[in-house]
Chains A and B, each alone.
Chain A
Amino acid sequence: QLQLQESGPGLVKPSETLSLTCTVSGGSISSSSYYWGWIRQPPGKGLEWIGSMYYSGSTYYNPSLKSRVTISVDTSKNQFSLRLTSVTAADTAVYYCARGSGSYKFWGQGTLVTVSS
């Protein structure tokens, strides 16, 4: 069974860069026809798609975050990563990584990132 696990700092200072990694087990991150995505959820609010990467390496970003977001992959470690620059308190959220073929069937448990000085 595919499993995804987010990891990274739980606290980031305003104006700094948020960096998270999603480690994939039970399957290859190079598997064809799958999207690997990042989704976030501010406390008490709804889900927001951040960006996705196709197995081929193509990336897609939420237009509202595009200038600050980078998704990359490390196939040797079976991981993919999220970088979000110039964070503010509005970026405080639970961040999820997920895999799917459009819809997302497999999700990590999520990791809370708080932006605060």
Chain B
Amino acid sequence: DIQMTQSPSTLSASVGDRVTITCRASQSINNYLAWYQQKPGKAPKLLIYKASSLESGVPSRFSGSGSGTEFTLTISSLQPDDSATYYCQQYNSYWTFGQGTKVEIK
């Protein structure tokens, strides 16, 4: 089984800050890595697929990078609407989610 480890679990940042979330896979996942945003009471929303491809309609302040086993989601300028929990997910071998990172606005 492929394990996905996200860090940090929680982060607090100010509007306009650059925010980075890291996701580490227990083995290479060939860039089959997605990022989701989830707000309370809502289904997850796909932000990034194939590690760095921005889903249609997602603001360009979101970006994904990385390869092999280390991946990052970056929000270039944090906005109030970005307050949410973010999950990574590998789909190279079955599917596995990271444990989530809660982003709070200071």
Q: By DSSP majority rule, is chain B's interface helix, strand, loop, or mixed?
A: loop
Cβ–Cβ contact A96 & B43, under 8 A: yes
CB proximity to A under 8 Å, residues B1-54: 1, 32, 34, 36, 38, 42-46, 49-50
Cβ–Cβ contact A63 & B44, under 8 A: no
Write the chain A residue with the least CB distance to B33: A103
- How far, in Å, is A22 (CB) from chain B's closest CB? 12
Residues of B within 8 A of A77 (CB): none
Question: How many A-B pairs with Cβ below 8 Å?
Answer: 55
Residues of A within 8 A of B89 (CB): 47, 49, 103-104
Cβ–Cβ contact A102 & B49, under 8 A: yes
B39-73: CB near A (< 8 Å → 1, else 0) gives: 00011111001100001000000000000000000
Question: Chain B: interface residue count, which band?
Answer: 20 to 34
Bound complex: CA A108 to CA B96 (Å): 19
Cβ–Cβ contact B97 & A103, under 8 A: no
B82-94: CB near A (< 8 Å → 1, else 0) gives: 0000010101001
Q: Which A residues are within 8 Å of any B CB, using their own CB?
A: 37, 39, 46-49, 52, 60, 62-63, 96, 98, 100, 102-105, 107-110
In the complex, besides A47-B100, A60-B95, A98-B43, 16 extra interface pairs with C-beta distance below 8 angstroms are A37-B95, A39-B97, A46-B98, A47-B36, A47-B38, A48-B97, A49-B94, A62-B94, A102-B34, A103-B34, A103-B49, A103-B50, A103-B91, A105-B49, A107-B45, A109-B43
